[in-house]
């Protein structure tokens, strides 16, 4: 591993999720589902909205937390609250690309050089490779300067100039590696072929066609229009960054509700947006990536969808073809591992064994005073990773920050051990040795204090 997995969630527009395996049944316990989200809210584990549909009909909808937290008042979220969906946008972009293919305006083999020849290796890259992340184009959100620019309005010309300057990660078709840049460029191609902005293409090709009233290309967040702000947990919910939506484009600029996303997935799988042959291609997995749908296992079932993450927002939508069940969750504040949340609500939905009282959302944290954090403060480094991690404190909350990345709060779970649950990160300190051990995704890195 050559980079820290933690920062996929912090600076990228997407992260994949996997679910547990087991058995199945068909009964849906709504009261138990309510209890799960009540526990999440009571323990400040998440602020989010969820919707579940079956056979095209909404069977569950709930919102917890706040869409906006002001200095003197808070606005409670509701099922109609609109959230930034991050990389779920890629499904919308992918659907429009396949519509253009069906119209004979594109092919999977069409060269990127036909539209943007200045992108490195453009003459070797085709539309299909961009859809399944095998193009080798550098992921612009991995640039160390990305977070310093995310709030600035950026033109297409500026984006293309930065893409031109970035070296390819690998030769096209050699392997698969996630790159938001692929879908920025696909969005630009949609604009060229439709001769209209992405926002207008989205409206005419998808939202107007299937009646989505709360799905659109985002702008500056407007709480008065029931648009959620995003937050991160630092002992309390604190405002997160706000990316200018000129940047994520076809990779992550859509705003929606959980209910609208389930309607979108139902329409996509019902053949209302693309033909069955196109849908089959969209969900064909190669090297772990679809075009652009991912597949996720849950017990004996397989679901198809995509995750999203932008600023403090986290999301996922997916569809179970055999059950004709769609779900979506949209979070604007996360203080836990959303994979655990997904396991919880899907277990309840499909009546799998699941006990809320022993879930990770009810565990208590270790309470420390601000002076207890002093032995951990400092900058840690290892030759195994290209970044350093600086540990600071904000009142009685320990904070971590990697080179070129935003700071993230750390929860004390026991003496010398802290976690950032949203990214599945554990940090174990040994003050006497001036060491910090980072654990995530099966990787372990011992870092020395400088």
Q: Are residues 291 and 400 in the same domain?
A: no
Q: Are residues 91 and 160 in the same domain?
A: yes
CATH of the domain at 408: 2.40.128.50
List, for residues 352-378, the tens digit of each pLDDT value: 999 887 677 875 567 889 999 999 999
Q: Are residues 88 and 183 in the same domain?
A: yes
- pLDDT on residue 411: 86
Host domain of residue 128: 6-358
CATH of the domain at 60: 3.40.710.10
CA distances from 414 to 42, 278, 411, 417, 426 (A): 22, 51, 9, 5, 11
Asked, for residue 1, whether it belongs to a domain, the answer is: no
Place of tokens 């950026």: 154
Q: Are residues 353 and 428 in the same domain?
A: no
Q: Are residues 281 and 319 in the same domain?
A: yes
77 close to 228: Cβ distance less than 8 angstroms: yes
- pLDDT on residue 363: 59
Q: Are residues 260 and 182 in the same domain?
A: yes
Q: Domain end: 326, 358, 390, which one?
A: 358
Q: Are residues 265 and 239 in the same domain?
A: yes
Asked, for residue 313, whether it belongs to a domain, the answer is: yes
Asked, for residue 363, whether it belongs to a domain, the answer is: no
Asked, for residue 252, whether it belongs to a domain, the answer is: yes
Question: What total of structural domains would you count in the chain?
Answer: 2
Residue 435 structure tokens: 């060491």
Q: Are residues 342 and 266 in the same domain?
A: yes
Residues 6+ apart with CB under 8 A from 353: 22, 347
Asked, for residue 365, whether it belongs to a domain, the answer is: no
Distance CA 305, CA 292 (A): 8
Q: Are residues 100 and 221 in the same domain?
A: yes
Distance CA 247, CA 232 (A): 21
298 close to 19: Cβ distance less than 8 angstroms: yes
Q: Are residues 351 and 290 in the same domain?
A: yes
Asked, for residue 97, whether it belongs to a domain, the answer is: yes
Q: Are residues 81 and 13 in the same domain?
A: yes
Q: Domain end: 334, 358, 382, which one?
A: 358
- pLDDT on residue 21: 39
Asked, for residue 241, whether it belongs to a domain, the answer is: yes
- pLDDT on residue 403: 83
Residues 6+ apart with CB under 8 A from 359: 36, 39, 340, 344
Q: Domain end: 297, 332, 358, which one?
A: 358
Q: Which residues of the chain have pLDDT under 50?
A: 1-25
- The structure's pTM equals 0.85
Residue 2 phi, psi (nearest 5): -105, -5
Pinpoint the alpha helices (H) of 195-304. 198-202, 208-210, 249-252, 258-269, 276-282
- pLDDT on residue 70: 92
Residue 409 phi, psi (nearest 5): -80, 145
Asked, for residue 148, whether it belongs to a domain, the answer is: yes
Q: Are residues 262 and 186 in the same domain?
A: yes
């Amino acid at each position: 591993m050559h980079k820290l997995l933690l920062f996929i969630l912090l600076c990228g527009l997407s992260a994949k999720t996997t679910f547990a395996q087991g058995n199945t049944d068909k009964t849906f316990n709504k009261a138990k589902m309510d209890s799960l989200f009540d526990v999440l809210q009571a323990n400040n584990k998440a602020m989010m909205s969820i919707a579940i549909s079956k056979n095209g009909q909404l069977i569950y909808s709930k919102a917890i937390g706040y869409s906006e937290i002001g200095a003197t008042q808070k606005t409670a979220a509701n099922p109609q609250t609109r959230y930034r969906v991050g990389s779920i946008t890629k499904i919308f972009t992918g659907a429009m690309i396949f519509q253009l293919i069906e119209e004979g305006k594109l092919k999977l083999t069409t060269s990127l050089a036909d539209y943007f020849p200045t992108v490195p290796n453009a003459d070797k890259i085709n539309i299909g490779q961009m859809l399944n992340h095998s193009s080798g184009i550098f992921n612009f959100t991995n640039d160390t300067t990305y977070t310093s620019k995310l709030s600035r309005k950026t033109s297409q010309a500026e984006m293309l100039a930065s893409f031109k300057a970035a070296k390819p990660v690998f030769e096209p078709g050699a392997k698969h590696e996630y790159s938001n840049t692929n879908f920025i460029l696909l969005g630009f191609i949609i604009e060229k072929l439709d001769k209209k902005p992405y926002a207008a293409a989205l409206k005419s090709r998808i939202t107007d066609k299937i009646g989505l009233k709360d799905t659109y290309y985002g702008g500056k967040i407007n709480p008065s229009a029931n648009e959620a702000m995003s937050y991160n947990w630092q002992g309390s919910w604190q405002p997160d960054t706000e990316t200018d939506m000129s940047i994520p484009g076809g990779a992550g600029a859509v705003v929606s509700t959980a209910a609208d996303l389930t309607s979108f997935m139902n329409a996509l799988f019902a053949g209302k947006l693309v033909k069955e042959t196109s849908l089959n291609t969209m969900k064909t997995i190669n090297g772990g990536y679809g075009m652009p749908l991912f597949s996720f296992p849950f017990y004996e079932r397989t679901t198809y969808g995509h995750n999203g993450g932008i600023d403090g927002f986290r999301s996922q939508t997916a569809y179970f073809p055999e059950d004709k069940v769609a779900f979506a969750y949209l979070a604007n504040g996360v203080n836990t591992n959303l994979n655990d949340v997904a396991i919880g609500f899907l277990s309840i939905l499909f009546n799998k064994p699941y006990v809320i009282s022993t879930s990770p959302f009810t565990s208590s944290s270790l309470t420390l005073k601000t002076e207890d954090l002093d032995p951990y403060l400092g900058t840690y480094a290892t030759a195994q990773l290209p970044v350093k991690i600086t540990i600071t404190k904000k009142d009685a909350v320990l904070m971590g920050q990697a080179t070129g990345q935003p700071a993230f709060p750390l929860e004390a779970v026991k003496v010398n051990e802290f976690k950032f649950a949203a990214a599945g990160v554990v940090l174990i300190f040994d003050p006497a040795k001036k060491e910090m051990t980072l654990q995530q995704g099966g990787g372990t890195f011992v870092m020395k204090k400088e």
